[in-house]
Amino acid sequence: MKLRTPLGRVRGLGAAHEGADVFWAQRLTSIASIPLTFFLVGSCLYLIGADYEAARAYISSIFVAPALMLVIVVFVWHMCIGMEEIIVDYVHSPAVKFASLISNILFSVFLALTCVYAILKLCFGA
Amino acid sequence: MAHSKPPAGRPLSPHLQIYQLTLTFVMSGFHRVTGTVLYFGIVIPAAWLLAAAAGPDWFEFVNGLLGTIYGRLVLFGYTWALIHHMLGGVRHLIWDTGHGLELVSIEIFARATIIGSVCLTAAVWFAAFTLGGL
């Protein structure tokens, strides 16, 4: 047993001293998502009725391909942070919580890589 | 901490179900619901992209699925969730600056988000039907 006052034991344990980076990333990605949402919706409207070659030509064009990859990265980053917040809010059992947190990150990274790969293949693939 | 259970028989502090359902309360929950819908819903555009990368046959197949009445309904719901979550996010960004937190403002924001998301979704789908001649 240590001769420490209750205040002394908890002092310095209050704030995590981290987490502001997640708050900041969620704001960064939400601001970026606004113009990107308009771009995505506009692209979908443009591609209505487009055949394969037209769609491929549009996606692989010099301005569209990077912007579309930005949509993927920003959206997936944003949704990964959001789902993490939901998991730590509602999932209390440690085993399920950590399984959910890990699944969330793996799902997000897998999705982002798949989409970016698909865009690059449309640009450079045979 | 989180794992400690309260001693049996002790009263718990009132939780969500005890409070009157207000519009702002519902909208707060709905922001999370639309966020979750979009989380899983992103699989749809991802599948479309992947199909396009896989070749013309897959592209036609997925386009055909999305073109059915069920496909369109799902896309319509996705559009609404996307726009609703975006407008709800704008609301949160305004709150982050410390503005618009008065009771009158949050009521106006809540109504504006609903009306705005319905109108914008309708506009997008009107454009879709006009452009596509569907």
Percent of chain A with pLDDT over 90: 81
Cα diameter, chain A: 77
CA triplet A29, A33, A35: central angle to 5 degrees?
135
Average pLDDT over residues A25-40: 97
Average pLDDT over residues B32-43: 97
Is A3 part of a structural domain of the chain? no
pLDDT value of residue B4: 57
* Domain locations along chain B: 23-132
**CA nearest to A53 within chain B:** B56
Q: A interface mutation test: which of B15, B30, B33, B39 has the most A CBs within 10 A? A: B39
Of B43, B52, B92, the CB nearest to A59: B52
Average pLDDT over residues A71-97: 96
- The ipTM of this complex is 0.86
Q: Is residue A50's pLDDT more than 60? A: yes
Report the C-alpha gap between B79 and B77 in whole angstroms: 5
Is A5 part of a structural domain of the chain? no
Q: Is residue A85's pLDDT more than 60? A: yes
Would you call B35 an interface residue with chain A, using a CB distance cutoff of 8 Å? yes
Q: From A19, A26, A115, A101, select the one nearest B35 (Cα to Cα).
A: A26
Q: Is residue B1's pLDDT more than 50? A: no
Q: Is residue A69's pLDDT more than 70? A: yes
The first and second tokens of residue B113, run together, are 């988000």
The first and second tokens of residue A31, run together, are 């601001």
Q: Quote the minimal CA–CA distance from B28 to chain A in Å.
A: 13
Average pLDDT over residues B78-90: 97
Q: Is residue A76's pLDDT more than 60? A: yes
Top pLDDT among B116 and B18 is at B116
Residue-number span of the structural domain to which A74 is assigned: 21-124
- CB A37 to CB B83 under 8 A? yes
pLDDT value of residue A18: 79
Grade residue A126 by pLDDT with cuts at 50, 70 and 90. low
- CB B53 to CB A118 under 8 A? yes
CATH of the domain at A55: 1.20.1300.10
Would you call B90 an interface residue with chain A, using a CB distance cutoff of 8 Å? yes
Is A12 part of a structural domain of the chain? no
Q: Is residue B6's pLDDT more than 70? A: no
Of A37, A40, A48, the CB nearest to B131: A48
- pTM value is 0.87
Of A41, A75, A125, the CB nearest to B53: A125
Would you call B128 an interface residue with chain A, using a CB distance cutoff of 8 Å? yes
Average pLDDT over residues A86-114: 96
Is A2 part of a structural domain of the chain? no
Would you call B124 an interface residue with chain A, using a CB distance cutoff of 8 Å? yes
Would you call A41 an interface residue with chain B, using a CB distance cutoff of 8 Å? yes
- For residue B28, how far is the Cα from the chain centroid? 11
Average pLDDT over residues A79-97: 95
- CB B35 to CB A82 under 8 A? yes
Environment class of A107 (CB within 10 Å of its CB; exposed 0-12, middle 13-18, buried 19+):
middle
- Look up the CATH number of domain B23-132: 1.20.1300.10
Count of domains in chain A? 1
